[in-house]
Structure 1
Amino acid sequence: MQTLYLDNAATSFPKPVVVCDAVDTWMRQGSGAYGRTAGAAADAVGQMVEQTRHRLATLLDIPASSDIAFTFNCTDSLNLLLRGLLCLGERVVTTTLEHNSVLRPLHQLMQEQQLLVDFVDCDPLTGIVDPNDIRHALRQQPTRLVVITHASNVLGTVQPIRAIADEAHAAGALVLLDAAQTAGHFPFSMRELDVDFLATAGHKGLLGPTGTGLLAIRSGLAPQIRPMRCGGTGTASEQLLQPNEMPMRLESGNLNLPGLAGLHAAAGWLTQQTIARVSQHVELLTTRLREQLQQIPGVTCYPQQSGASCGIVSFNIHEADCREVATILDQSFHIVCRAGLHCAPLIHRQLGTVRSGGTVRLSPGPLNSIEQIDLATDAVTQIAAAF
């Protein structure tokens, strides 16, 4: 039986063939280092890196490609921003939907720098954070930063980011958007959302290789960020302090060129397909999966009321341990999924799913088919009948 991959919220698979080919070609034929090699090789490297920046800026409507710094993943991007921006005793407002890539740096900074952090709950029925609740939290005391996920990696629910950004800016706070689950899967514009910082991975919805990510920063804000990694940038070598200009402010050392070559190809593939078409397909699969699972006796989907989603369906069967269900899906049906707390413990506490070990999460991608969704539904039906 062929393996059915439904864990695209963790990392996308399969990658488009052009992505695999680009990485292979770069590993075999690429030469030179970005900003460090002279001659034609340097020109080829520089052209690929800057074209990748430009393609991503166009896809995500980031105002200027030079506002993008390449990172190793979304976790790296979030850490660079949180540790580089926040200072002793400052206050952050965030939500119970957040991933540990936000929660752990914040808790570490609570210990190291007496950071003040307030958490806003989502509506457990819809998975949505009410902008009015953000406004109420911001009124309590001055706040430096609002950190919010664009879409929950547990629930898939897309948040009303523009309304939340408006509340934050009215209170004098900056906004960091974690777009790990939406970039490439769900059409959006950084410009229209009016966020100050955008972090995402290259290997999920953007369909690139692992080891790639980006941090986009509103023009003019880069000097406020203390670089966490200082060193060679290939430019301004006479300066003994890290440059203030982006992207050098946050890019030190050699970049992951094979990874960026793959991301370059992935961004080109998404440009041809369009994120709108990809999103429409993923939404079709997700809606079908969710509606079918909801018809199975003993299956509970989260959240109970669905709205805009980025391609994630979480569920449990009766009171069964979700990890047992995932093991059966893997061993008996060859379906790859994820089960557990998904590195987002606070939302599971709010949902009351900790007693089941979390939830089973199925996450279709752009290269999945309706037939595969029906196979997954049939598998869950058989498992539910056995409990």
Structure 2
Amino acid sequence: MSGVLYFDQAASSWPKPPAVMDAMMQCMQEYAANPGRGSHGMAVKASRTLFETRKNIAKLIGVRNPNNISFALNTTHALNQAIKGYIKPGDHVICSNVEHNSVRRPLEHLKATAGIDLTYLRHDEEGNMSLQDLKEALRPNTTLVVVNHSSNLLGTIMPVGEIGEICRNHGAKLLVDAAQSVGVLPVHVSDMNIDMLAFPGHKGLLGPQGTGGLYIHPELDLEPLLHGGTGSQSEAIHQPTVRPDRYEAGTQNTPGIAGLNEGVKFVLHETVEKIHAKEWALTQQLMEGLLGIQGVTILGPKLGQNKTGIVSFNIQDVDSSEVAFILDQSFQIAVRAGYHCSPLAHEIAGTLAKGAVRASIGYFTTTEEVTTLIDAVREIGSQYAK
């Protein structure tokens, strides 16, 4: 795959820092034992690696006690733990209509099976929501509000801190889907009044796939999504009450978490402020170039507005999958096309019929690569010019 220009960072970041791969290989070669399941040296070192990773993630997102972070396979896993572990029959839940299916589908499942009441907040075509609409949607039985920090289609950044304050004043809990923000945008769970934060390891944190996690406020007790062995309280018939064991049944992905640790350390060293600034500058370069091509339209916030490194676009009425196929086959440029697991977001953007091409920027993207993508889109656009 050498020579491919990778603009699918919103799905999985690539390339990874070399230390990520080195740490995973070292783990496999030296201490790939079960963490928490033995007192021998390899098992102890595996346990220490998990705890060090928790500490570094806690430092990054403003968590005081690292044990309030439980590891997950990905953001979807973490969101399911949060949603299904907290919501009870009869609860009223609010979420936005730009949520990923990882939020929408669990909520709709509970609506169908547990009788919860669900309200979707409208966003404008750029992905912005009204805080007044949120206030008016709150009810006495509203127990949870779920929002993404940044739309995976539009790149819009949500005012999570203000949403958190509204929820706190009402007595509702706030769950944030940080799939597109952790490692890219500043996140501080206390300052932003976040009760639960679901995040991936393989995107902004630059770790491998199969890693992620869920921050759970110390005052919340969720029903575990999985029950089984934890290496602790083994004499008990029920799931342990101690954290993080309560939410981590089964053997953890120690090699993956070892790699994740190095990704988090890289982010801490570079700082999210520096990462976001670089990605934003490249995003503006890409948007400005695309806007100069006849027939190209861009979804989400306009040029100059703050957003994450996601640029979704279309060329006239050409199907997005066709554009992505040409970029891949003729130009060796990797983007994503279709609905990006966010059909409601496509409804508000007016692109439900054909989807959108999504080009997403990463920290290792270069200005030259952006220029190459712009030139390729220009060439494709000229073929379909009316």
* The two structures share one fold, judged by TM-score above 0.5: yes
Deviations 1:269-308 (A, max 9, x none): 1122222211111111111111211121111001253532
Match of 1:207 in 2: 206
Q: Which amino acid aligns with 1:341?
A: Y
Q: Which shifted more, 225-234 or 39-48?
A: 39-48
Match of 2:75 in 1: 74
Q: Which amino acid aligns with 1:186?
A: L
- The question of 1:85 aligning with 2:74 is answered no
Give the one of 322, 329, 341 matched to 1:331: 329
Q: Retained in 1: the 8 A contact 2:301–2:307?
A: no
Q: Which shifted more, 298-307 or 8-17?
A: 298-307
Query: Alignment partner of 1:249: what SS?
Result: helix
1:145-184 paired onto structure 2 within 5 Å: 145-184=144-183
1:35-74 paired onto structure 2 within 5 Å: 35-74=36-75
Deviations 1:11-66 (A, max 9, x none): 01111111111112212222421111213223211211100000011111123211
Q: CA deviation at 1:129?
A: 1.3
- The question of 1:284 aligning with 2:284 is answered no
- The question of 1:245 aligning with 2:246 is answered no
Q: Retained in 2: the 8 A contact 1:197–1:218?
A: yes
- The question of 1:262 aligning with 2:262 is answered no
Match of 2:117 in 1: 116
TM-score (norm 2): 0.96
Query: Alignment partner of 2:246: what SS?
Result: coil
Measured in 1, the distance between the counterparts of 2:63 and 2:337 equals: 34
Q: Retained in 2: the 8 A contact 1:97–1:122?
A: yes
Deviations 1:157-180 (A, max 9, x none): 110011111122222211000000
Q: Retained in 2: the 8 A contact 1:63–1:191?
A: no
Match of 2:3 in 1: 2
Measured in 2, the distance between the counterparts of 1:325 and 1:176 equals: 35
- The question of 1:313 aligning with 2:302 is answered no
Q: Which amino acid aligns with 2:364?
A: L
Measured in 2, the distance between the counterparts of 1:333 and 1:62 equals: 44
Match of 1:230 in 2: 227
Q: CA deviation at 1:259?
A: 0.6
- The question of 1:273 aligning with 2:270 is answered yes
Measured in 2, the distance between the counterparts of 1:170 and 1:191 equals: 14
Give the one of 348, 351, 363 matched to 1:350: 348
Q: Which shifted more, 238-247 or 315-324?
A: 238-247
Q: Retained in 2: the 8 A contact 1:93–1:147?
A: yes
Q: Which runs of 5+ in 1 are unaligned?
A: none
Sort the Cα spacing of 1:304 and 1:60 in 2 relative to 1 into closer, same or farther, 3 A: closer
- The question of 1:372 aligning with 2:369 is answered yes
Query: Alignment partner of 2:147: what SS?
Result: strand
Query: Alignment partner of 2:132: what SS?
Result: helix
Query: Alignment partner of 2:379: what SS?
Result: helix
Q: Retained in 1: the 8 A contact 2:81–2:225?
A: yes
Deviations 1:239-279 (A, max 9, x none): 22212222111011110011101101111111222222111
Q: CA deviation at 1:73?
A: 0.3
Q: Which shifted more, 376-385 or 27-36?
A: 27-36
Deviations 1:321-375 (A, max 9, x none): 11111111111111000011100000111211012x2110000111110110010
Q: Which amino acid aligns with 2:174?
A: V
Q: Which amino acid aligns with 2:347?
A: R
- The question of 1:135 aligning with 2:144 is answered no
Q: CA deviation at 1:213?
A: 0.7
Q: Retained in 2: the 8 A contact 1:311–1:365?
A: yes
What is the count of residue pairs matched by the alignment? 382
Query: Alignment partner of 1:313: what SS?
Result: strand
Measured in 1, the distance between the counterparts of 2:183 and 2:175 equals: 18
User: What is the aligned-residue RMSD (CA, Å)?
Assistant: 1.3
Sort the Cα spacing of 1:44 and 1:271 in 2 relative to 1 into closer, same or farther, 3 A: same
Share of identical aligned residues, percent? 39
Q: Which amino acid aligns with 1:296?
A: I
Q: CA deviation at 1:131?
A: 1.2
Match of 2:197 in 1: 198
Query: Alignment partner of 1:228: what SS?
Result: coil
Measured in 1, the distance between the counterparts of 2:143 and 2:197 equals: 16
Q: Which amino acid aligns with 1:14?
A: P
